[in-house]
């Protein structure tokens, strides 16, 4: 777990880093139900790694708008049959997409290197301590319970991240293991989502890697009148824009296409 964590962290700053999405859920908006079985999950994880994913993000609870929350026990029941087999069978770092400390701890025991918390250590009061105790790295994502169209969304993110980093510091999580995610599509209007991407450089002074997760999101469906399966071009455009503004990690469904796009981007930007 530590070796894979450090392998992943060592890439940050050197080039654009791809986080491949693997949902073992029945109800995720893009691929719900496709990878619940062990064989399907392992096959998809191997494909993501072969296509260029540097880390694979496993989720067992959908976080799409309007999702039905599930209990810790149900989330673990979905994860435990597959997670240990994934980390043993695929030579790649893994992250766990969860906001529950008990799930994060069990995932770390099964070989996961990074906790990807869509509530930025602020939902479960035990989460920061679990991250610190397990030695995992952590992605803290901005989120809101409600949508307020009058907010300056970057100012709200800064307040949120200040609190997340206070919790991380209190628990003893080293700053070099923390990443920030603006949470595109979570608790924001369409205008705020676009504003967050446009003003992403306003988060760079935290001095931490920025992760962006916009893959196949409804934002592109609205802009392009595109179905979930035809949102790749919009996703690539948004991710390349985010890269130009300072993002360095990209959570995506389509690893091969992003690998090609980022090879060109990095060749130009890092020449």
Active site residues: 217, 251
* Strands of the 17-23 sheet, one edge to the other: 178-181, 137-141, 114-117, 94-97, 55-59, 17-23, 249-252, 211-212
Distances, alpha carbon 30 to alpha carbons 125, 204, 252, in Å:
30, 30, 11
104 contacts 137 by C-beta, under 8 angstroms: no
Question: What region does 166 belong to: left with phi over 0, alpha with psi -120 to 50, or beta?
Answer: alpha
Read off the DSSP letter of residue 37. S
**3-class DSSP state of 231:** coil
In angstroms, rounded to a whole number, what is the distance separating the alpha carbons of residues 218 and 229?
11
In angstroms, rounded to a whole number, what is the distance separating the alpha carbons of residues 18 and 34?
21
Q: How many CA atoms lie within 13 A of 220 on its CB side?
A: 21
Dihedral sign for Cα atoms in the order 237, 243, 246, 250: positive
In angstroms, rounded to a whole number, what is the distance separating the alpha carbons of residues 215 and 53?
14
At residue 190, what are phi and psi to the nearest 5 degrees?
A: -60, -40
């Amino acid at each position: 777990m530590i070796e894979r964590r450090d392998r992943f962290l060592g890439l940050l700053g050197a080039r654009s880093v791809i986080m491949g999405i693997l949902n073992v859920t029945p109800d995720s908006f893009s691929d719900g139900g496709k990878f619940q079985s062990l064989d399907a999950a392992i096959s998809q994880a191997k494909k993501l790694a072969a296509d260029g994913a540097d880390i694979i993000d496993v989720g067992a609870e959908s976080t799409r708008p309007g999702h039905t929350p599930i209990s810790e026990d149900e989330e673990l029941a979905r994860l435990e049959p597959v997670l240990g087999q994934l980390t043993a069978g695929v030579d790649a770092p893994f992250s766990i997409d969860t906001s529950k400390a008990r799930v994060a701890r069990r995932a770390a025991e099964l070989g996961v290197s990074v906790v990807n918390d869509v509530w930025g250590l602020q939902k479960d009061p035990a989460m920061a301590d679990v991250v610190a105790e397990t030695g995992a790295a952590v992605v803290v994502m901005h989120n809101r319970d409600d949508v307020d169209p009058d907010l300056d969304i970057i100012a709200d993110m800064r307040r949120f991240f200040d609190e997340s980093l206070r919790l991380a510091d209190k628990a003893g999580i080293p700053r070099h293991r923390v990443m920030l995610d603006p949470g595109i599509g979570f608790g924001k209007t369409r205008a705020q989502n676009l504003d967050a991407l446009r003003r992403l450089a306003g988060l760079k002074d935290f001095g931490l890697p920025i992760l962006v997760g916009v893959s196949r999101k409804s934002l592109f469906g609205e802009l392009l009148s595109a179905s979930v399966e035809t949102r790749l071009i919009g996703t690539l455009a948004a991710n390349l824009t985010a890269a130009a503004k300072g993002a360095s990690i990209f959570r995506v469904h389509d690893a091969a296409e992003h690998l090609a796009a980022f090879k060109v981007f990095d060749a130009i930007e890092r020449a």
